[in-house]
Structure 1
């Protein structure tokens, strides 16, 4: 008998020994399954809920030689309608850049340590698009030492391949030790799929439609390998071009390109 079963058995035996009037008040209820703690169902219109989301803005390349300028509350790049969040990358001259897009962040408004995160989304199509659903440390000091979890990355020149990855001081692409995996779906830009992360003190699991394809385990060696014992926040964005997304160029005719998000749900 496991500890939970033993606990329930003892409680039930004690309850049965009590008078009936007290019994209903003393039998414990033990939660089962994930407990919702934060969500956005996008059941409104206009800009994303400012109590839940903020923006990263600018066009300095974001460490990846990206081509876009990220805007803030600009109706051409981000809006909510018909129960969906829309992030749209556009080809246009803006602040010295030839593309615009949006990068939505929950920093300071939604930050979590461990749990399950689900995002139901439909991805853009086209060479040069680079949509992502990912997480960074809520109190960053130095990347990648603080950790990064990529729940989804998709580069348009490799249509249909979903990438799940972690970045740490010990494991990252700048030193050739990046850890991750992929799964292929042929309809990513035609249908919605649920991209999810299950994260606890022992492991990180990344899935699409509950199909887990990447697992990263805490080997107990310390923060160089596992910095994921602190709060992190969520990021939703479409980058354009860049050191990875632009490896095979950018197809100008693919724009405007949008990512549609049906919901974001976080469970304890």
Structure 2
């Protein structure tokens, strides 16, 4: 778990001395990694830490994560604009950094990354804490979410989907995150969601902790340990949420929910994750 650090990824800016003149310009290091923000503990009463990734290595841990590459089906089902690659993921002083770029690759005008724990880690019930800082700008769509582990067998939405956090960038929306579930109700797509809006600032400014507490009867959503949404999963048509799920982290560019980038959107944009932890009930 990282605390106050200096980023390895740097934006090089010109620092001009008071006397002026080009020969007096020197590079100034500007960090993209937040230095503050809410945190979460490594233990909870009556719960045990069963899985975690603190992103403390030099590369993404392939024992935990796999990359999904390309454009998926119809822009990953959402008309997203990016091409997902491995190259847009890095580990920077204890943080996972997913970078969205405006660049042409395989017929797409943007690149980013999407990583999953499918076939490497899944679980049923518990508390998930993810400390992250989000990108900003029209068309940015970061998400921390889960799909049922039977996805390849039954498809979506029959497998169920739990969106721990997603943010729709642009138009001042970076102060609001969404928590949603999707499922199949008699063969029809159903969903239920809530949102949390910060009283000041945005989710880009500092770290925040996005959490769910999931058991056999409900799923509750939290931001910085404050609950803002809940669903009762006891009805039979919500059986999807009594199965195992795996994680997905991605930064989409454009798509059905955020709309496309425009001339106000700056690149690159960074989705920064300090850690992800899973606790289960004793």
Mapping of 1:99-248 within 5 angstroms? 99-140=110-151, 141-157=154-170, 158-170=173-185, 177-185=190-198, 186-220=201-235, 222=236, 224-246=237-259
**8 Å contact 1:78–1:86 — kept in the other structure?**
yes
Structure 1, unaligned stretches of length 5 or more? 1-30
Q: Deviations over 1:24-81 (max 9, x none)?
A: xxxxxxx942200000111121x21001111111114000000001112x1xx10102
Deviations 1:72-92 (A, max 9, x none): 2x1xx1010211110001110
The two structures have a TM-score, normalised by structure 2, of 0.77
Partner of 1:20: none
2:86 aligned with 1:67: no
Q: Secondary structure at the match of 2:184?
A: coil
What is the alpha-carbon root mean square deviation over aligned residues?
A: 1.8
1:155–1:171 Cα change, 3 Å:
farther
Residue 265 of structure 1 corresponds to which residue in structure 2?
277
User: In the alignment, what sits opposite 1:14?
Assistant: none
The structure with more strand, counted as a fraction of residues: 2
Conserved? CA contact 2:146–2:246, under 8 Å: yes
SS of 2:162's equivalent in the other structure is strand
1:39-118 alignment, distance < 5 Å: 39-45=52-58, 47-60=59-72, 61-72=75-86, 74=87, 77-118=88-129
Q: Assess if the C-alpha contact under 8 Å between 1:43 and 1:84 holds in 2.
A: yes
2:46 is matched with which residue?
33
Is the contact made by 1:171 and 1:179 (CA closer than 8 Å) also made in structure 2?
Answer: no
Instruction: Report the alpha carbon displacement of residue 142 of structure 1 after superposing the two structures with TM.
Output: 1.9
**Alignment gaps of 5+ in structure 2:** 1-43
Assess if the C-alpha contact under 8 Å between 1:171 and 1:178 holds in 2.
no
Q: Which has the larger radius of gyration?
A: 1
d(CA) in 2 for partners of 1:250 and 1:56?
22
Distance in 2 separating the partners of 1:43 and 1:225: 37
The equivalent residue for 2:22 is: none
How far apart, in 1, do the equivalents of 2:197 and 2:46 lie? 28
* Conservation of the 8 A alpha-carbon contact between 1:165 and 1:179: yes
Which deviates further from its counterpart, 127-136 or 225-234? 225-234
